[in-house]
Amino acid sequence: MDLKRLKQRGEFEWEVPKSGAMRVPGVIFASRELVEAMDEKVREQVTNVAGLPGIVAASYAMPDAHWGYGFPIGGVAAFDADSGGVVSAGGVGFDISCGVRTLHTGLKLADIEAHQARLADLLYARIPAGVGSTGALRLDAAGMAAMLKGGARWAVQEGYGSAADLPRIEEHGCVTGADPGAVSEQAKQRQRDEMGTLGSGNHYLEVQVVGEIFDAAAAGAYGLAAGDVVVSIHCGSRGLGHQIGTDYLREMVVAAPAAGIALPDRELACAPLKSALGQRYLGAMRAGINCALANRQILTHLTRAAFAEVFPGAKLPLLYDVSHNTCKEETHSIDGQPRRLFVHRKGATRAFGPGHAELPREYAGVGQPVLIGGSMGTASWVLAGSAGTGERAFGSACHGAGRAMSRHEATKRWHGRALIDELAARGILIRSPSWRGVAEEAPLAYKDVGAVVDAADRAGLARKVARLAPLVCIKG
């Protein structure tokens, strides 16, 4: 990206000045090196988002930002319904509520080492992964509606996990306002036998060991210590979320002119929040969030069962579950006044600071866990929401490393089998149904996650708590 077109606000904050149709400035949180490495398309997309009706404060991009559909991945923007604000399917993304949940195991690295291969094989056998993967659960129409309304709460009621999980899930496992009737039959059909599956792309289930601790107080509150073994699950709403995005983007593109919305890019298709279309999309999108929460809850149950076979008595309590790819109605302070806003986070996670009313009691003093996924052979991170982040980016932080090259380019540079062997030599066991999928997700196809996390920390978006190293990765 050309730094001459940006105004540096601080060491880790860059402004895209207002010009043309922009209603607010753009703000990119990143180091100089990360900004320079970003595609010029990121600045263009930040600029386009800044021109949407009813946008508040700024169009933001996180340190892992890269080119996406409409919004940049790593894009954050909030809209005021009372000021003509809009909701954009492209600002949420196709994999609605894709997110990360992390589980404690109560085990240490020494406990795992002798059983690592057996555990990898068992998890791979029990966790459906890959393109078109299907699970043992098949939902009828009534079950689908109940799942879309109930999210992880529905899953717990069906026997997948316990009520103790729910307080440590965003929205306590179920977002209100979901409308299964706003979800197309095609979307429901795609999801009928995909519950409890990882899917493909960058989704994974990973067994990890806690390495360095950076914030002892937060790590203590989260129950993390060096040498602890944890499990992280990264997945979303599968075919249902993708179909919701496809359905409503088509409808929004057609409806935008009649609503008086001039789109700088048809991928930014949107609808007024107070319109019938906007309300239907919110109902469908919230159903997609609940689908993702239920999916991760079922995967948690399967993971616990697999661990119990290798380590009898292992319980795997939940540390936290946080989504990206959402639009949430939240209250934020703007110019010292509370305003109800619809915050789009696309490839960005919520990162509420200490004392926020949404946090579980045991985390209130240190801030929300922010779970940052790595890229198969690299570290993942646990961060904590920082005080004051709500004033800067609506309580948001990065969600991962961010791609540095396309999947097509990655497959030209790496071969899956060779990568699996290379990682095994480093003590990281990969299990995947697709060598091509492994090549697409090669660690070096992503940005340096450490640099991204450092930028988020230094920009004040979230603070570093613990680094996690991979031991086993089940890859879609």
Do residues 275 and 261 touch, judged by C-beta distance below 8 A? no
In this structure, what token pair is assigned to residue 374?
């790595």
3-state helix, strand, coil in the chain (%, to 5): 40, 25, 35
- Listed residue (233, 270, 358) closest to 92, CA to CA: 270
> What CA–CA distance (Å, rounded) separates 97 from 87?
16
Do residues 232 and 471 touch, judged by C-beta distance below 8 A? no
> What CA–CA distance (Å, rounded) separates 329 from 342?
4
> What CA–CA distance (Å, rounded) separates 45 from 28?
11
Q: How many CB atoms lie within 10 A of CB 115?
A: 13
CA atoms within 13 Å, Cβ hemisphere of 249: 19
In degrees, to the nearest 5, what angle opens at C-alpha 95 toward C-alphas 42 and 199? 120
> What CA–CA distance (Å, rounded) separates 165 from 167?
6
- 301 tagged catalytic: no
Q: How many CB atoms lie within 10 A of CB 156?
A: 22
Residue position matching structure tokens 């159903």: 287
In this structure, what token pair is assigned to residue 274?
């107070």
Element containing residue 409 per DSSP (H, E): helix 407-413
- Listed residue (398, 404, 402, 411) closest to 463, CA to CA: 398
| Active-site pick, 301, 399, 408, 415 | 399
Q: Cα dihedral sign for 113, 205, 172, 192?
A: negative
Do residues 62 and 76 touch, judged by C-beta distance below 8 A? yes
Residues annotated as catalytic are: 399
